[in-house]
Structure 1
Amino acid sequence: MASIDWDDVRYFLAVGRGGSVRAAAERLGVNHATVLRRIAQMEQRLGVQVFEKRPSGYRLTAAGEEVVEFAEQMEASSHRLEARVFGRDQSARGLLRITVPPFLADLLMPDLADFAQRHPDIEIEILSTGEVANLTNREADVAIRFVVDRKTLPLNLHGLMGPQLAGGVYVSRDLLARWRVGATGPIRPIVINDRGVPDWASAGEIKATGAPFRAPDAEVQLAAVRQGLGMTRLPCFVGDADPMLTRAPGVAPRLNGALWILTQGETRNTKRVRLFIDFVSQRLAGRAPLLMGSSAPDE
């Protein structure tokens, strides 16, 4: 039997996890034909069929199920090797991958630009997503994440706690003005990921009524509340900084968790990672009043 190519294993795992060649191609940044060729190459070397194509997608065969365990062991070994070698890199150059939530990416962009100017030899890649990047699999080198309970952090991650983060309930200034002069009609709860107006907002002067408006992401959520569709929960640093929005009257913001700067394993020892963590932790500390909702403009 010919030796197995690690690159073929990556494609095999991507199809198995995504359930389709298309999903694997998008994840790996290649075309459909490349994925098919890699899978066929692996099956030829193993002498077995690892996937069965069905109308619902690609399903592992019995042989493919056996291959998964060994493929994941190869993947884990590869990631450990990469992390160890990466951790010994003490040069202030090379790629630095950072993941931040969408709203926070906007807030930190001036700081990220400043860091890039100070360190022109560091190639910066920003992954702005609400998903938690897999640091163990080296999808990112540093993750800045909102964490409600530090006990939920995986034990293999190293974390530096930043400022606490406050959330509040916001409406558009135009909607509030109409409501104050007696406008009728529902003020919808704007919901994202099943999170909309919290229960503790019920003590406020305005009540969310009517069918919810479901936003698929943070950008649509913000656009909807600006448009006056209703009220929603936002981080205070987003709502307070937006001139079109205001806090819902009678609803005080609440602290609920903190920002954490996370790394994994040997990665934290790399010079460019240490430079970034030192830099961004100071910048976040300087923005603590805004993040904690204590610097709202006067009405």
Structure 2
Amino acid sequence: MAAAQYLGVNHTTVSRRIHDLEKALGGPLLVRAKNGWELSALGERTLSLAEQAEEVLHGLGSLRLDDAAPLLRGLVRIAAPDVFSVHVITPAMAALHKDHPELDIELITATQRARQGRSGMDIEVVVGKPQVLNSVTRPVMDYHLRLYASRDYVAEHGEPRSMKELEGHPINFYVESGLQVDDLDSGRQSLPEQKEGPKGIASTSVFGHVSATIHGAGIGLLPDYLAGQHDFVPILPEDYRHPVSYWVVVRKENTRNPRVRACLRAIEQRVAHMGAGTAHPHHP
């Protein structure tokens, strides 16, 4: 259904075309999985060849008579955590789009592990080193989770001076039952257990953690490169710093795609411009 909507045709047309292609290739292109349909092994090989053919056609169509570098055209789909998407990817893609106005970007925000079945995604940015097959992975930015509070919160509740004192303060962080990333979960687990009393506000979004901290709901466990944009009081800055890294995941066949490579370069340039964490400027 989603493919039909994207192509602007009805569902039966898509089904018929897939059936005709499967008949010509002699096997199924899609297999049913827990969360819907995924590409079969034959489908993955077919997609790789189709992407190569599409790239050649786009290259021919975008050549200029003056032999200048060709314009990038076509779609790139990127999945990344929300805060990285807003502060890194969106500005990077906006800058790239000025030079390549026919480049289409679809950005899906999610804080999750890299998926083994990555059909439909050209680039994924995940938290922590991913363990995936048939892909190129590398770190793109390092940062730390640290503790922060609003000045009003400190004025009202005091500033904890030790890990023991931290036990009496609510922590704003992810919804525990929905947290799928070990590097983030271990950041919370390394803090002392909270005593009985008011709980912090849990959210599936980092921006929820920031907002809860701004409004005095507790102490926020936040990325340092984001918290630095607010007038927060660092809490236990010498005692608690939890290192985390963003990693990029790209299917091996996509490492030759000029659109994907251009997007990766733009992301790295944005990280370097921000001066946040550590950029890792080498391409897959």
The two structures share one fold, judged by TM-score above 0.5? yes
TM-score by length of 2: 0.65
Query: Aligned in 2, Cα 1:264/1:135: closer, same or farther, shift over 3 Å?
Result: farther
1:170 aligned onto 2:135 = no
Q: Which runs of 5+ in 2 are unaligned?
A: 17-30, 60-71, 161-167, 177-184, 279-284
Q: Matched residue pairs, number? A: 224
Structure 1 position 217, deviation (Å): 1.6
Tell me what 1:6 maps to: none
User: Aligned Cα RMSD in Å?
Assistant: 3.7
CA contact (8 A) 1:189 1:210 kept: no
Distance 1:181 1:266 in 2: 52
Query: Aligned in 2, Cα 1:103/1:264: closer, same or farther, shift over 3 Å?
Result: same
CA contact (8 A) 2:125 2:247 kept: yes
More moved, 216-225 vs 132-141: 132-141
CA contact (8 A) 1:84 1:266 kept: no
Q: What does residue range 142-291 of structure 1 map to in structure 2 within 5 Å?
A: 142-147=123-128, 150=129, 152-180=130-158, 187-194=169-176, 195=185, 198=188, 200-201=190-191, 210-218=197-205, 219-243=207-231, 245-252=232-239, 254-288=241-275, 290-291=276-277
Structure 1 position 26, deviation (Å): 8.4
One of 67, 72, 80 as aligned partner of 2:45: 80
Partner AA of 2:233 in structure 1: T
**Displacement over 6 Å in runs of 4+:** 25-30, 71-74
Distance 1:78 1:252 in 2: 51
Distance 2:189 2:114 in 1: 30
One of 130, 155, 166 as aligned partner of 2:111: 130
Question: CA-to-partner distance for each residue in 1:114-163, whole Å, 9 max, x for gaps?
Answer: 1121211110111111134647442310112221xx3x421322023223
Partner AA of 1:93 in structure 2: R
Partner AA of 1:284 in structure 2: V
Structure 1 position 27, deviation (Å): 10
SS at match of 2:230: coil
CA contact (8 A) 2:201 2:217 kept: no
More moved, 104-113 vs 173-182: 173-182
Distance 1:100 1:169 in 2: 23
CA contact (8 A) 2:200 2:219 kept: no
More moved, 212-221 vs 274-283: 212-221
Query: Aligned in 2, Cα 1:287/1:113: closer, same or farther, shift over 3 Å?
Result: same
Percent identical among aligned pairs is 18
Structure 1 position 68, deviation (Å): 5.3
Structure 1 position 193, deviation (Å): 3.1
TM-score by length of 1: 0.62
Query: Aligned in 2, Cα 1:87/1:291: closer, same or farther, shift over 3 Å?
Result: farther
Tell me what 2:63 maps to: none
CA contact (8 A) 2:114 2:132 kept: no
Partner AA of 1:131 in structure 2: Q
Tell me what 2:100 maps to: 119
Distance 1:258 1:250 in 2: 19
Structure 1 position 212, deviation (Å): 2.6
Tell me what 1:98 maps to: 78
Structure 1 position 100, deviation (Å): 1.4
Query: Aligned in 2, Cα 1:86/1:208: closer, same or farther, shift over 3 Å?
Result: farther
* Structure having the higher Rg: 1
CA contact (8 A) 1:190 1:196 kept: no
